[in-house]
Structure 1
Amino acid sequence: MHQVTREDVHHNRPVRQFHGKWPFVRLLGVQEPASVLFSLLNGAAVVVGYHRFSTSSPSDYHLHSVLHVELLVSVNTWLWSAVFHTRDVGWTEKMDYFSAALLIVCGLIVQFIRLSGRGALLWQCLYGAVWMGLFLLHVAYLSMSERFNYGYNMAVCVIAGTVYAVVWTAWSIKEWRRRHYVWKCVVAVLWGSCTVLLELLDFPPLLWAVDAHALWHLSTAPIPLLWYSFLTDDAKYEMTRHKKQV
């Protein structure tokens, strides 16, 4: 692969892809160093953001345990992303995709728990069970398929992610006048949605290390910090309102 690429560059021919992937220069055996670094950067941003939330939000906020679970799912996702970009083989690819899908599902469940309120435990459990069941069916289908269905996986994740973004945006518009901090939610959601456009770009990696996918990972790294800032403000608002009602 690298010999062919060197010949292409030497003869001013377009750099070609191999099995749908661009050639990268390895660093200490790592196949895609930039994507690994930026994946770990995302994971670190999640940890820092959650730490700020846990130390700044009311200690008796009822969603602390739920958001802690989401933290673990998110860190797991970014670790598998780093592993996959370190060594691209069948099982690391599946773990990367399945972890990303689980994070989306977890986000949808946490979203419903937050927006449905304290008195809807039964509905929250049913909603979570349905999404987890769909996730397991999704994993089973892709695992048992003779060939990994990339198009199906992408479509499912895009649809679920769109539902997540639309619901948060609609809620933010509804609450805009009452909650001064919801702009953080809107910016974080729209930012995340716009960064997906980087996945549509396709060009040889800059310096044989940074391609469009790596830039996508880099562009999403600041989002957790803004998101947890929103969650902190939301927790304070909700606890103040709850205490007034008691």
Structure 2
Amino acid sequence: MLYTAILVSMLLAIQIVPSLESVGDYSLDYRYCLSNCLQKSCSDVSPIRATLPWHLHVFLWTCSDDCRYTCMHEVTTEDVKLGRPIRQFYGKWPFVRLLGIQEPASVLFSVLNLVTHLHSFSKFHQNAPGDYPFLWIVRLCPLIASNTWVWSVVFHSRDTRWTERLDYFSGTLLVVYMMILQFVRITGPSARPWQYIYATIILLLYCTHIGYLSLVHFDYGYNMAVNVVAGGFCTAVWSIWCIKNYRERRYLWKCMVSVVCNSLFILLELLDFPPFLWTFDAHSLWHMSTIPLPYLWYGFLLDDALFGRVKTLKAI
């Protein structure tokens, strides 16, 4: 049942492909509004919006960007008034920005994910024995996770070509790291040469992946498929290993719950709906749902480190 759910979530998530073009930004009413705004407010003759508020300058908003935002909400207000369906613009729902931040809820929840990662790792770092054989690779976890959540904050604050790519590439790097950590932990310290070979292969595949997206074609569907399949593979392998070793290591429930929830929470993305209060959409709720999971994950790693120490002391 578990693996069926994981497989279904993988297949469904592949269908979640953002688009650069949406019904809203191709509609005649939006185009008319945008054309008028650009002509009246952003032309050399009448630069009404030339002086934008400081907080918009901080997030690199331009006059034309501000026109797009204004027209998006003018069209959306009219849609709501006439009872028409809410439209997406440039692949996104119409969010209300906060001090220049495009998606404030996703930014807030990304920050909280960053905080819980760092806080839960600090607890692990304070209590884990120094001779834990996997300490060297676990120490990389908060660095890579922090990189992921920092770029998530940047991207959701201001969606541009480069912030989007850095957010996506950082997310994939975290998945790649988890695949390497998984192999290192399951194969054990004695398999170090094989671990280096495996890590090299995975990192080369990652470099090929981002090279294709950067230099050939930025394919949203392909990128999503790679991440979902890799994440689903990790979840299945961790689950099998946890089930096989649960009798001896009762703490493995933390690992299993953490990785399974990470995979299943992506189903929130399927509930793609206009943002509640023009702030909370399905994507932000996905980020919200992952906030407590680092406590389970680092709790598993700490119990694993302490279990090895207790086992060694008993043997002595």
Provide the rounded CA distance (Å) in 1 between the counterparts of 2:310 and 2:97. Answer: 53
The secondary structure found in structure 2 opposite 1:20 is coil
> CA offsets per residue over residues 199-238 of structure 1, 9 Å max, x none?
1111000000010000000001110011111111111112
Provide the rounded CA distance (Å) in 2 between the counterparts of 1:218 and 1:158. Answer: 19
Amino acid at match of 2:254: K
Q: CA RMSD in A?
A: 1.2
Provide the rounded CA distance (Å) in 1 between the counterparts of 2:144 and 2:182. Answer: 15
Q: Report what 2:169 is aligned to.
A: 98
TM-score (norm 1): 0.96
Provide the rounded CA distance (Å) in 1 between the counterparts of 2:286 and 2:310. Answer: 38
Q: Report what 1:237 is aligned to.
A: 307
1:141 counterpart = 2:212? yes
Structure 1 segments of 4+ aligned residues over 4 angstroms from their partners:
242-246
Q: Report what 2:242 is aligned to.
A: 172
Provide the rounded CA distance (Å) in 1 between the counterparts of 2:298 and 2:78. Answer: 48
Q: 1:54–1:64: 8 Å Cα contact kept in structure 2?
A: no
Q: 1:38–1:217: 8 Å Cα contact kept in structure 2?
A: yes
Provide the rounded CA distance (Å) in 2 between the counterparts of 1:138 and 1:92. Answer: 17
> CA offsets per residue over residues 10-48 of structure 1, 9 Å max, x none?
222211101221000000100000000001111111001
1:49 counterpart = 2:127? no
* Structure number with higher relative contact order (C-alpha < 8 Å, ≥ 6 residues apart): 1
Out of 150, 166, 184, which is 2:220 matched to? 150
Q: 1:31–1:85: 8 Å Cα contact kept in structure 2?
A: yes
Q: Report what 1:83 is aligned to.
A: 154
1:184 counterpart = 2:184? no
The secondary structure found in structure 2 opposite 1:120 is helix
Out of 39, 45, 61, which is 2:110 matched to? 39
Amino acid at match of 2:92: K
Give the drift of 1:242: 4.2
Q: For structure 1, which runs of at least 5 residues remain unmatched after alignment? A: none
Give the drift of 1:63: 2.0
Give the drift of 1:243: 5.0
Provide the rounded CA distance (Å) in 1 between the counterparts of 2:150 and 2:313. Answer: 39
> CA offsets per residue over residues 129-170 of structure 1, 9 Å max, x none?
000000000000000124x20000000001110111011100
TM-score (norm 2): 0.75
Q: Report what 1:25 is aligned to.
A: 96
% of aligned pairs identical? Answer: 52
Q: For structure 2, which runs of at least 5 residues remain unmatched after alignment? A: 1-71
Q: Report what 2:9 is aligned to.
A: none
